[in-house]
Structure 1
Amino acid sequence: MALMPRRVKHRKSQRRRIKGNASRGNTVSFGDWGLQSLDPGHITGQTIEACRIAATQYVRGEGKVYIRIFPQKSVTARPLETRMGKGKGDPDRWVAVIRPGTIMFELTGVDKEAARDCFNRVAHKLPVRVRLVGRRPKI
């Protein structure tokens, strides 16, 4: 089943425009390698689940996969072949709002080539451009 929140304060939310770069969640915190977004966009819960499956199948117990995004915004849709008007549609899917610079997935326990291959498989499933980033050494 796709990711979605247990409870929300408001069932329906406005779409809004994604402006600016990520100010939080833009550094590799848990793993050694991260997959960073270069474009703004929405990523559905089903897409996140597909990426998780692709990454965990690749590492096969060698490393650990961390998911840094969660779909907490509802997107509504009207039924097909419905006339205009009569209000806003029901929640159709849940999406995570991604800004440029957001670290979406992280890997630990693998070398750079394995991380590149793993994230290459994941990147094919995502609707935004991404790049591989490493952990910055602490000073």
Structure 2
Amino acid sequence: MLQPKKTKFRKFQKRRVTGVKLQQLNFGMYGIQSLSCGRISSACIEAARRAMTRKLKRTGQIWIRIFPDLGVSQKPAEVRMGKGKGAIQQWVCPVQKGQILFEVNGVPESLAVQAVQLAQHKLPLKTQFIKTI
């Protein structure tokens, strides 16, 4: 799964994910664009990538335009209050509305639509299929 090799701080503060980030396709002909704000975990990113790769049968090329660099900490179950902040449990990526998540190139449009639909089922946010004009 994706996670940073090194970070400046061990633990992070929670921050809100808001705003609009209108991006365009830079690498591929087709892509997945978010329609809402939120956080996507590294497990969801990997599941979507695997779904697309298997549908495309390793043809074409896939670009992941997001990276989970925000650590989310959690204390173990049934632990008393205090004694500091919990350990990092997962890595997430804050996603804004309009941000490009994945890009695909080198496959026909019908196959790209099917692969993107499989990936959209793995993501916790509302997304849409986009293509270059």
Query: Fold conserved (TM > 0.5)?
Result: yes
Tell whether the 8 Å contact from 1:54 to 1:122 is kept in structure 2 after alignment: yes
Partner residue of 2:25?
Answer: 28
Q: 1:49: how far off?
A: 1.0
Deviation at 1:56, TM superposition (A): 0.7
**Following superposition of structure 1 onto structure 2, how do residues 1-139 of structure 1 map, counting pairs within 5 Å?**
2-22=1-21, 26-136=23-133
Percent of aligned positions with the same letter in both sequences?
39
TM-score (norm 1): 0.91
Q: What secondary structure sits across from 1:47 in the alignment?
A: helix
Corresponding residue SS for 1:16? coil
Would the aligned equivalents of 2:17 and 2:39 in 1 still touch at CA under 8 Å?
no
The number of residues matched between the two structures is 133
Mapped to 1, the partners of 2:68 and 2:90 lie a distance apart of 9
Structure 2 unaligned segments of length 5 or more: list them.
none
What is the CA deviation profile of residues 46-87 of structure 1, one whole-angstrom value per residue up to 9, with x for unaligned ones?
Answer: 111111111111111331111111110000000011112222
Unaligned runs of 5+ in 1: none
* RMSD over aligned Cα atoms: 1.1
Deviations 1:112-137 (A, max 9, x none): 2211111100011000000011124x
TM-score by length of 2: 0.95
SS at match of 1:124: helix
Native 8 Å contact 1:68 1:105 kept in 2: yes
Q: Is the 8 A contact 1:29 1:135 kept in 2?
A: no
